[in-house]
């Protein structure tokens, strides 16, 4: 990331214009601080990351191996540590994003306390977390650059200085795209537009919106999901697009999610003007009984289909029921309609991670929209081990292979962990992302709430050991020693929190009178 801001000469000129009162201002220090604060606003971030995502989308169109990935992050610190880890292990942040899940907001960030993912959390908590994530990512930049500046100052010769300067000049930021979950839009299209603006102003370049009813919204992997007619959903897509355009993010990304595969209900009968139009297609999936004027009951709602008088099945909840087995067809229609009306990508929520199932739908979509790209949830709600063992088992049965030593219903059992079937299943899980990107049109793989589970798992292990027989060794061996051995920067937690940067600033502001924290008695020196 070459710095393209104000030059040292320009800062010197500014200093000269302000006379002796600015004598203590060091232009080099100002330049460094400006480099550490590349992004001044959330809109700058949104534009920068939208450009990245558009470039990545084009790369994927040319080569499906160039897919992208993200993890769901429920706190700025978690997002920051994820990106620091990625830079450490892979040397680059390319094609690695963040995902902000409504599920995480509800479960971990709501002022009401933990909630299910049913759009019950506060609207403002979503843009607040986006802002928090980018605050932590910008701080990661500032911290890492500060370390490079100190190395530059301490470099023993010109060759060493040149190497460090090159690292500074070509610095790669931790700031990456966020795909942010706006759920079902939190109300009418105007409410969706207002919330979308807040999210974009906080830095979001990509908004994910789903076709459920706002006040009936359910988690993608729960029952009782209710969809809306296409025109209702398209109004919210347009609301998001107008929010992007108003704020000058002309290439902002909209991900249109369909929950139709698992949604058997609708709250509304679509408006239709002629046979075969979009409303009529939506209504054609309704589970109906043919009636006559004589067989109609009090309060019945009827529609005309193919010249017949039909009564949609209405539940006591006042919801209408879709025909069984229509989920795939509805997903395909939803996806095509969204892409033809302003969405950039689609998200099909499925009940299992099955490339064949996903590929069947995306291939049908691509017959109409040739460059259709899918965002897919590699969800922790799936039992990945069981699903893939069953997929291998079913393939063996189809091939005529002997499966008598396996019980399909009990394939999760530990007794199968070291079997050929288990090994094949694990390999399919290992290659799922690459295979699905190639065979099922998946541009972006995300996993919604892994850090929810890792936080719970690591805390359980620490609590078990520290409060048990291991005592303090439970922390030392289970956490600290592993941090040291793995080179996790957070082991020096004072540095991670910004203490060393604070020392730099003290020197900028106070010169030789600066009272620094990083002296001989700072215990963080034990981890150098």
Give the residue from 379, 381, 389 showing the smallest Cα distance to 419.
389
Q: List Cα–Cα distances, 444 to 179, 220, 451, 487, in angstroms.
A: 10, 18, 18, 29
The two three-digit tokens of residue 417, written as one number: 């962990």
Cα gap 394→420, rounded to integer Å = 14
- At residue 448, does pLDDT exceed 80? yes
> Tokens 């929810």 belong to which residue?
452
**Active-site residue list:** 219
The two three-digit tokens of residue 432, written as one number: 């799922």
Please give the full DSSP string across 136-201, using - where no structure is assigned: HHHHHHHHHHHHHHHHHHH-SSHHHHHHHHHHHHTPPPS---EEEE-TT-SSSHHHHHHHHHHHHH
The three-state DSSP-derived secondary structure of 412-475 is: CCHHHCCCHHHHHHHHHHHCHHHHHHHHCCEEEEEECCHHHHHHHHHHHHHHHHHCCCCCHHHH
Q: List Cα–Cα distances, 269 to 93, 140, 264, 295, in angstroms.
A: 46, 50, 14, 21
**Predicted local confidence at residue 2, as pLDDT:** 42
- At residue 217, does pLDDT exceed 90? no
Three-class secondary structure of residue 212 per DSSP? strand
Cα gap 245→238, rounded to integer Å = 10
**In the beta sheet, which residues pair with residue 209?**
256
Read off the pLDDT of residues 459-485 as tens digits, 9 standing for 90 and up: 999 999 999 999 999 999 999 999 999
Mean pLDDT over 52-79 rounds to 96
User: Is residue 110 very low, low, confident or very high in pLDDT (cuts 50, 70, 90)?
Assistant: confident
- At residue 500, does pLDDT exceed 70? yes
Among 254-268, 342-356, 500-514, whose mean pLDDT is lowest?
Answer: 500-514
The residue that leads in pLDDT, 102 or 337, is 337
The two three-digit tokens of residue 68, written as one number: 């992208």
Provide the phi-psi class of 454: left if phi over 0, else alpha when psi is between -120 and 50, else beta: alpha
**In the beta sheet, which residues pair with residue 314?**
320
- The answer to whether 250 touches 274, Cβ cutoff 8 Å, is no
- The answer to whether 72 touches 220, Cβ cutoff 8 Å, is no
- The answer to whether 218 touches 57, Cβ cutoff 8 Å, is no
Domain architecture of the chain: domains with CATH: 1-36 (no CATH), 45-60+68-265+325-382+416-457 (3.20.20.60), 468-514 (no CATH)
Residues 6 or more apart in contact with residue 39 via CB below 8 angstroms: 45, 48, 134, 138, 175
Give the residue from 457, 458, 429 showing the smallest Cα distance to 445.
429
The two three-digit tokens of residue 412, written as one number: 């999760």
Percent of the chain residues past pLDDT 70, beyond the cut: 97
Cα gap 214→119, rounded to integer Å = 7
Mean pLDDT over 187-198 rounds to 97
Q: Which H helix or E strand runs over 492?
A: none
């Amino acid at each position: 990331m070459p710095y393209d801001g104000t030059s040292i000469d320009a800062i010197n000129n500014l200093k000269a214009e302000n006379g002796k009162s600015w004598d203590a201002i060091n232009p080099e220090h100002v330049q460094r601080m400006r480099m550490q604060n590349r992004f001044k606003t959330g809109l700058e971030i949104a534009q920068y990351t939208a450009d990245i995502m558009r470039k990545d989308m084009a790369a994927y169109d040319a080569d499906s191996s160039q897919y992208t990935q993200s993890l769901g992050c429920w706190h700025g610190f978690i997002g920051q540590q994820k990106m620091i880890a990625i830079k450490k292990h892979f040397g680059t942040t390319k094609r690695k994003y963040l995902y902000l899940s409504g599920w995480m907001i509800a479960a971990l960030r709501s002022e009401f306390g933990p909630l299910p993912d049913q759009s019950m959390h506060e609207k403002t908590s979503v843009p607040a977390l986006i802002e928090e994530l980018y605050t932590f990512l910008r701080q990661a930049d500032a911290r890492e650059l500060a370390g490079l500046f100190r190395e530059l100052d301490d470099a023993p010769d010109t060759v060493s200085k040149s190497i460090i300067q090159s690292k500074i000049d070509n610095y790669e930021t931790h700031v990456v795209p966020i795909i942010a979950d706006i759920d079902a839009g939190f109300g009418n299209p105007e409410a969706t537009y207002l919330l979308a603006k807040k999210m974009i102003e906080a830095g979001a370049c990509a908004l994910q919106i789903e076709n459920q009813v706002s006040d009936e919204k359910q988690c993608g992997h729960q029952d009782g999901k209710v969809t809306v007619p296409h025109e209702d959903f398209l109004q919210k897509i347009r609301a998001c697009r107008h929010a992007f355009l108003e704020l000058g993010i002309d290439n902002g990304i909209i991900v249109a999610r369909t929950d139709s595969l698992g949604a058997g209900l609708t709250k509304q009968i679509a408006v239709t003007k002629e046979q075969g139009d979009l409303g009529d297609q939506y209504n054609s999936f309704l589970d109906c009984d043919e009636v006559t004027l004589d067989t109609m009951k009090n309060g019945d709602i009827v529609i005309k289909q193919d010249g017949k008088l039909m009564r949609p099945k209405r539940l006591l909840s006042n919801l209408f029921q879709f025909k069984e087995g229509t989920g795939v067809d509805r997903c395909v229609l939803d996806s095509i309609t969204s892409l033809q009306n302003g969405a950039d990508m689609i998200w099909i929520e499925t009940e299992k991670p099955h490339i064949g199932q996903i590929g069947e739908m995306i291939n049908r979509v691509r017959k109409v929209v040739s460059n259709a790209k899918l965002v897919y949830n590699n969800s922790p709600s799936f039992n990945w081990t069981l699903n893939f063992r069953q997929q291998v088992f079913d393939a063996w049965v189809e091939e005529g292979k002997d499966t008598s030593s396996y019980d399909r219903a009990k394939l999760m059992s530990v007794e199968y962990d070291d079997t050929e079937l288990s090994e094949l299943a694990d390999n399919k899980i290992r290659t799922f992302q690459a295979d699905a990107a190639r065979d099922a049109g998946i541009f972006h793989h995300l996993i919604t709430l892994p850090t929810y589970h890792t936080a719970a798992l690591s805390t359980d292990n620490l609590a078990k050991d520290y409060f048990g027989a291991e005592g303090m060794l439970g922390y030392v061996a289970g956490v600290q020693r592993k941090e040291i051995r793995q080179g996790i920067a957070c082991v020096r937690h004072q540095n991670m929190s910004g203490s060393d940067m604070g020392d730099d600033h003290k020197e900028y502001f106070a010169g030789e009178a600066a009272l620094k924290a990083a002296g001989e008695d700072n215990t963080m020196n034990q981890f150098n």
